[in-house]
Amino acid sequence: MSVSETERDILRELAERVAEIAALAVQQETISLWKALNGLRPVRPMVMIDQIPWHEMEVDGELALQTENNFCREMETTLRRTLYCWRHMPADMVVEPLIEVPKVIHGEWFGIRVIEEAAVLDPANDVYGHGYIDQLQTEADLEKIREPEVSLHEQATAEREEIAREVFDGILEVRMQGRFPAFHPWDFIVGWHNPQQSLLDLVERPEFMHQLMSRLTEVNLSLLDQLEEQDLLGVGQQTVHCTGAYTDELPAPGFDPEHPRAKDLWTFGMAQIFSAVSPAMHQEFWLDYAVRWYSRFGLGYYGCCEPLDEKIDIIRNLPHVRKISMSPWVDEERGAERIGRDFVFSRKPNPAFLAREPWDPAAVERDLRDTLERCAHHGCPVELILKDISTVRYEPQRLWEWADVAMRVVQE
């Protein structure tokens, strides 16, 4: 793998612009604000934007790639998106004077792949409908799920590191990055067993579902063990599930950057399909298994799109949870009352506002103010995390304006 002089120049010019931004005093100020929030002593609510429909965001060639080499294009994409977000919608992002290069790690899969029928409306959009084919119909089918066999591809990793260090020498630190594992076996289950059958079997075949969850818990813990034993976990964690991860509480005492441990990291987990089950079933078929995972980590984020306002009491049983997702489908008043000052109220504002016609920033502002008022009433530390943005109707300015509105509201 070789890099041309032209490609090197393109990457270095972008890196110099990132380095200039990273040197601004506001970066350390924002890190301090994230640490305060994550320590449950917030100065103000925090704002982040993630999971962006990049295929709709191009303006004046800002995102157009100019390199040819695949690895160069990976790095160029990272740099261009960083610069784009900082220019148009920075919110509370932090730009550090480094570029992360993922290590090449093999064998992280569990032996079974999704078989599906896809329903695609916009070929440029990677968000589309899924019709999953059930591959786990009998107990014998559970044997399809296998323990991972993790290994570092040393030569490929070394080649990527050598190129990155040569390209960015004197401009940005190169951080060869490992994994930040999460626990979300139900996302796998619905893809392998299909959503309808998964929910039916909780009632009709509970023992089968317990066997399935036990199997997936074991293979996930095996993956974690192997990543930890081979020093393939990540370091310098900047985000956890689309939110700021800066904290004074991690890494744990005895940390060695050459040998990172799970307890030095945040993790996150979810069971999104459990939007449709009771708290008791949520506990039995998910949280009782998740305890083993969360107990390994230093801090945890819990939830995603599932409404959790009626399940705060059982989430309290998970060790080390610090943030709880409050999706667009929660009763915010109930969630804020039950969270109180004990966790970060991780609000997910509804991305549908960005897809509506006409675009209505005043409606966005009313929605965000309502969240902040409820959280203030109950003393909740709160963050506003806009994610799962499937479309802005090819009008990127909507997202820029959303960021402006959100920052104005939280800074008042």
Written as one letter, the residue type at 242 is C
**Cα–Cα distance, 181 to 240 (Å, whole number):** 10
- Average pLDDT on 94-121 reads 91
CA atoms of 175 and 160, how far apart (whole Å):
11
pTM of the model: 0.95
Element holding 366 (H helix, E strand): helix 361-378
C-alpha 176/C-alpha 158 separation (Å) is 9
Question: Is residue 317 a contact partner of residue 289, using CB atoms and an 8 Å limit?
Answer: no
Phi, psi of 172 (to 5 degrees): -125, 145
Q: How far apart are CA 238 and CA 240, in angstroms?
A: 7
Residue with tokens 């506990």: 283
What integer pLDDT is reported at residue 182 of this predicted model?
A: 98
Our measurement of the distance from residue 104's CA atom to the centroid of its chain's CA atoms, rounded to an integer in Å, reads 20
Helix (H, G, I), strand (E, B) or coil at 397: helix
| 3-state secondary structure at position 81 | helix
What residues contact residue 34 under an 8 Å CB cut-off, 6+ apart? 46, 92, 94, 244, 245, 246, 247
136-169: per-residue pLDDT in tens?
999 999 999 999 999 999 999 999 999 999 999 9
Q: How far from the centroid of its chain's Cα atoms is residue 31's Cα?
A: 18
What's the pLDDT score for residue 114?
A: 85
Q: Are 14 and 8 in contact (CB under 8 A)?
A: no
pLDDT of residue 124 exceeding 90: no
Cα–Cα distances (Å) from 214 to 73, 218, 410, in that order, read: 40, 6, 43
Q: Supply φ then ψ for residue 233, to 5 degrees.
A: -75, 160
Mean pLDDT of 189-199: 94
| Average pLDDT of span 318-344 | 98
What tens digit of pLDDT does each residue of 200-229 get? 999 999 999 999 999 999 999 999 999 999
Cα distance between residue 128 and residue 134, in whole Å: 19
Choose among 316, 303, 408, 318: nearest CA to 364. 408
Cα distance between residue 77 and residue 170, in whole Å: 20
* Angle between helices 397-411 and 361-378 in degrees, nearest 10: 30
Backbone angles phi, psi at 298, to 5 degrees: -75, -45
Q: Mean pLDDT, to the nearest integer, of 398-408?
A: 98
Residue 61: burial class (beta carbons within 10 Å; 0-12, 13-18, 19+): exposed
pLDDT band at 301 (very low <50, low <70, confident <90, very high): very high
Token couple for 221? 């813990």
Q: Rounded CA gap, 405 and 354, in Å?
A: 13
Cβ of 58: how many Cβ atoms within 10 Å?
13
Tell me, what DSSP letter sits at residue 52?
Answer: -
Contacts of residue 98, defined as CB under 8 A and 6 or more positions apart, other chains included, come to: 22, 172, 173, 174, 175
Q: Where residue 123 falls among pLDDT bands split at 50, 70, 90? A: confident
Which pLDDT tens digit goes with each residue over 23-64?
999 999 999 999 999 999 999 999 999 999 999 999 999 999
Question: What's the rounded mean pLDDT across residues 171-188?
Answer: 97
pLDDT tens track for 229-277: 999 999 999 999 999 999 999 999 999 999 999 999 999 999 999 998 9
Question: In this structure, are strands 151-152 and 105-106 parallel, antiparallel, or unpaired?
Answer: antiparallel
- What is the C-alpha separation between 60 and 65, in angstroms, rounded? 12
Q: Which domains are assigned to the chain?
A: 44-60+102-411 (3.20.20)
Distance CA 7, CA 84 (A): 20
CB neighbours (10 Å) of residue 163? 22
Handedness of CA 336, 339, 345, 349 (dihedral sign): negative
Q: Cβ of 251: how many Cβ atoms within 10 Å? A: 18
